[in-house]
Structure 1
Amino acid sequence: MDNVNLQNHRRKRKEVYQKLPDFWADLQDSYYALLDHYPLTENEVDEIHTITEQIGKIYDKTARLMRQLPDDIFYMLGYSKEIVPFLRYKTIESEGIIRRIDLVRTVDGWKHYECNSDTPTFIMETHHVNGYITDYFNLKNPNAESEMKLSNVISHVVNKSIKGLDKPIIVFTAHGDHEEDWKTAKYIQSLYNGKSQLIALEDLQIIENDGLYTPKGERIHILYRQTYPIEHLELDQSSDGTKIGLALLELVKDGKLIIFNPLSAFLLQSKAVQALIWNLHIEESDVFTEEEHDVIRKHFLPTFLEPDFFIENNLPYVEKPAFGREGDSIKIVNGENRQQSKQNNYHDQVMVFQQYSPLPMRKVMTPDGMLDLHVLIGSFLIKEEYGAIGVRAGNIITGNESCFLPVGIVEEKN
């Protein structure tokens, strides 16, 4: 691409995304949202939706089983002793409100990489922004109905939880100095059809065994913390050493506060849950029906808590931390060839070993010109039903430097 056309692309991209001032088209002085699209046919969209719901049912059934397991199993799956006492509490009928199922297209069909059930990001991009870009390219938006579905579910769950309260205080929160998290929380708040407040996490005040309060001294009934992980919350301490994160979870346990996603969503957050599911599958456990075993066989990748299976069979595999995020602390082992992420912040966690299934590559238009990027599909589960679809495009390990690539529906090829 010559310099004139590249400059023209950069100008158009800037013009399009400037129409969305509450969106982070650029992050940390680098481009994030691309002015290009990933093509999907109607049949492919339907297939992704179906697989997403099928995988969701596998996780939901596994959650019901996990609540009956002894504490030692939770420790094996990477959960800390501090957090295990809270894992069996279920406050709403669903295991989560918003979950993201990551999928990759392979020669053997769609394979499931992992599930972010507690604090999935990529929500505004897929449910809201995608439609602006498909309009620009004059394509059909596969996510056209997803935003309304998400809004209805959020409003239903919150309103059901505050039923009977006279003047409920509902707060949406995130770190105020983190642009992506803050604007995600602001977007989620905009989908709720009732009265609420948007308050930075650092401005909330907790009183042990009493409640969580706004800066004005109002007691909070609902806390929606879409981007703040439970595994970070449990480590939070005040300046005097008080474990405020665990104190907050005690409020939830004692019924003095409701948080969303609920605690039950964290039950499935560990990537080691996939090792549990795979183990039940290869043992032909009657926990799953024949149809569910078929879903696992078709779409789940062999996953273990030790690499022995892959080493013995000379198979490439991925090593990743149970609670890793943004591609941090991941290793790809393919014989003598080893690749790993730049960050290694989660090296002390329980590690999960999963069969390596390489991400497909696609030529994508970026502000740096046409690049060959690896693409990963993120498909949302809203309660038990499918939500929006999106693509992250980037390196061989999908990290926080990956870009948002909108998706659009194209005609089937004859």
Structure 2
Amino acid sequence: MDRRDAFYTSIPSFWDRLYGEEYALYDCLPLEQKDINLIREATNEIYSIYKKFNHMLKGVPDETCITLGFSEKALPFLKMALLPYETVIGRFDLIPTVEGLKVIEFNSDTPTFIRELFEVNGLVSKQFGMANPNAGEMEYLGKALRNSIFHCAKQIGVTGHPYVVFTAHEEDVEDRETMMFLLKVAQVKGATFVPLHQLQVDAGKAVYDGMGNKIDILYRHTYPLEALLEDVSDDQFPVGIEFMNLVKQRKVGMLNPVSAFLMQSKAVMAAIWGMHELRSPFFTEREHQIINRYFLPTYLDEAPFVERKERYVKKPAFGREGDTIEIRENGETLYAPTKTTYDHYVKVYQKYVELPKALVATEAGKKEAHLLIGSFIINEKASAFGYRAGEHITDNLSYFLPCGVKGGSE
């Protein structure tokens, strides 16, 4: 415990403990290069399916978007395209199975777990005498952020250096420090952090910081768009809708872009799987092979699993950290979460796959935990990845388990 605390306290402003509990483990999961290659290959191939599907979604009727779980408030903004790529920072959640890697979610709009994998994982792997599988990815992330800011500024007609603001809820240490990390990595001249509560939206005109300076580009990476659309002030002014109107009018730029939100609904996975089951000509034979290899059967109804007597997961189209996720069999609940924050969203039903287990070193000694891989796609390229270790449903109390490559150090 002393070694652990001494190591993590040497990393400035890192949340190695969350909710008063150990979060970052003083341990390092050994990997082989073939493991890394498989994760990167899966990430690139899964993203290629989402990208193609997202392009098609921009042309579907509004009723289809409603079916996929998007609210009516989102409809006027869903088809906007302001960047040459669908998301700047996205993260797939992957499960290693006997049949290979399977994707269970795509957090394309507001993924966290960024600083852990792009910076801290390398520090831990070095401490344990292993090579960092994410070496060089922090530099690539910085270039990707600058590239997205350049394209965003161009689309809204800003010349010269745009005024870029990174924002988050100031009281949430993980969200705040994630944005501070992105700000540091981006290295954009004049960019700054401004807490969400200090932002001012002037309907039809502009967005301002707490000092009254007009913001050109707002990076709201940890504030989900579905929550932003519902945001109202104390006097019932629709802050979120008016902000999005300014984005639509190109009076302010926003990152991640709306196209990232369009991929965020888990119901998209059900649509992709449904088209695959029907052997839709929309996907090429090669793309059908990718879907069959990496995707799990996913539906908007539980009937297929009940008929086949298969165990499945019931999850909301939008949600985070295992909240509102149930494990079910024959229509009966086997596991129910303590939190049901996202129960009002459209539900998705996905084949249940058991997470693999490993012994991990905690402050309380060795502990068996289930492993989940988080793998980032940054400007359409597979990037940093890493592991969460916890219960059979990964939640906000799951550990960050660093990983390294055996037989080397960097």
TM-score range (shorter-chain normalised) is: over 0.9
1:217 equivalenced with 2:212 (yes/no): yes
| Alignment match, 1:31 | 22
Q: Return the offset for 1:158.
A: 0.8
For residue 267 of structure 2, what is the aligned residue in structure 1?
A: 272
2:209, 2:165 → 1: CA distance? 8
Residue 337 of structure 1 and its aligned partner are, at CA, apart by 6.3
Shift of 1:242: 1.0
The residue number in structure 2 matching 1:135 is: 126
Alignment pair present for 1:74 and 2:65: yes
- In the alignment, what sits opposite 1:170? 164
Aligned to 2:146: 155
Q: How does 1:6-85 map to 2 (within 5 A)?
A: 10-85=1-76
Which amino acid counterpart does residue 297 of structure 1 have in structure 2?
A: N
The DSSP-based 3-state class of the residue aligned with 2:63 is helix
| Local SS of the residue matching 1:85 | coil
- Aligned partner letter, 1:278: W
Alignment partner, residue 331 of structure 1: 326
Q: Is the 8 A contact 1:140 1:409 kept in 2?
A: yes
Name the SS of the counterpart of 2:72 in structure 1.
coil
Change (3 A) 1:343 1:39: same
Q: Partner of 2:340 in structure 1?
A: 344
Q: Partner amino acid for 1:299?
A: Y
1:41 and 1:411 in contact (8 A); partners too: no
Q: Give the TM-score, by structure 2 length.
A: 0.96
Measure how far apart 1:411 and its partner are.
5.4
Confirm or deny: 8 A CA contact 1:77 1:270 kept in the other structure. Answer: yes
Instruction: Name the structure 2 match of 1:182.
Output: 176
Residues of 2 paired with 1:193 and 1:21: CA distance?
A: 18
Find 2:248's aligned residue among 246, 253, 276.
253
Structure 2 CA distance for aligned equivalents of residues 166 and 216 of structure 1: 21
Deviation of 1:225 after TM superposition, in Å, equals 1.0
Deviation for aligned residue 1:159: 2.5
The count of aligned residue pairs is 403
Letter of the 2:152 counterpart: S
User: CA–CA distance in 1 between the matches of 2:78 and 2:15?
Assistant: 34
> Any residues of structure 2 matched to 1:323-402 within 5 Å, and which?
323-335=318-330, 338-402=334-398
CA displacement at 1:199 relative to structure 2? 0.5
In 2, the alpha carbon distance for the partners of 1:161 and 1:320 equals 33
Aligned to 2:235: 240
In the alignment, does 2:131 pair up with 1:123?
Answer: no
Asked whether the 8 Å contact 2:306–2:329 carries over to 1, the reply is: no
Displacement, 1:109?
A: 1.0
Query: What letter is aligned with 1:181?
Result: D
Q: Residue 257 of structure 2 corresponds to which residue in structure 1?
A: 262
- Residue type at the aligned position of 1:355: K
**Partner Cα separation in structure 2 for residue 68 and residue 342 of structure 1:** 39
Counterpart secondary structure, 1:408: strand
Counterpart secondary structure, 2:76: helix
Q: For residues 14-42 of structure 1, what are the alpha-carbon distances to aligned partners after superposition, in whole Å with 9 as ceiling and x for unaligned?
A: 01111112210011211110011222210
Instruction: Please name the residue that 2:83 is paired with.
Output: 92
Q: Please tell me whether the aligned partners of residues 252 and 258 of structure 1 are also in contact (alpha carbons under 8 angstroms).
A: yes
Deviation, structure 1 residue 167? 4.9
Matched letter for residue 402 of structure 1: S
2:290 is aligned with 1:299: no
8 Å CA contact retained: 1:321, 1:352: yes
**Cα contact 2:377–2:383 (8 A) shared by 1:** yes
| C-alpha contact 1:389 1:407 (8 A) present in aligned 2 | no
- Inter-partner Cα distance in structure 2 for 1:88 and 1:204: 26
Cα distance, 1:161 vs structure 2: 2.8
Map Cα deviations across residues 314-333 of structure 1 (whole Å, 9 max, x no partner). Answer: 01000000001110011101
1:36 touches 1:364 (CA, 8 Å); kept in 2? yes
Deviations 1:81-123 (A, max 9, x none): 0101100001000000000011001111111111000000000
The 3-state SS of whatever aligns with 2:48 is helix
Of 257, 263, 285, 1:290 maps to 285
TM-score computed with the length of structure 1 as normaliser = 0.95
Moved more, 278-287 or 304-313: 278-287
Query: Secondary structure at 1:142's aligned position in 2?
Result: coil
Distance 1:178 1:399 in 2: 17
Gaps in structure 2 of 5+ consecutive residues: none
Q: Which runs of 5+ in 1 are unaligned?
A: 1-9
> How big is each residue's C-alpha offset from its partner over 1:119-161, in whole Å with a ceiling of 9 and x where there is no partner?
0000000001000000100001000011111111101121233
Q: Distance in 2 between matches of 1:171 and 1:348?
A: 32
Work out the percentage of aligned pairs sharing the same amino acid: 40
Residues 117, 174 of structure 1: CA spacing in aligned structure 2 closer, same or farther, 3 A cutoff?
same
Structure 1 residue 53: Cα displacement: 0.4
The one-letter amino acid of 2:310's match is L
One-letter code aligned to 2:164: I
**Residue-by-residue CA offset, 1:375-411 (whole Å, 9 max, x unaligned):** 1000000011011011011111101111100111125
Tell me the amino acid that sits aligned with residue 380 of structure 2: E
Tell me, what secondary structure is at the counterpart of 2:11?
coil
Deviating beyond 6 angstroms after TM superposition, the runs of 4 or more aligned structure 1 residues are none
Q: Which residue of 1 aligns with 2:197?
A: 202
* Matched residue type, 1:147: M
User: 2:345 is paired with a residue of what secondary structure?
Assistant: coil
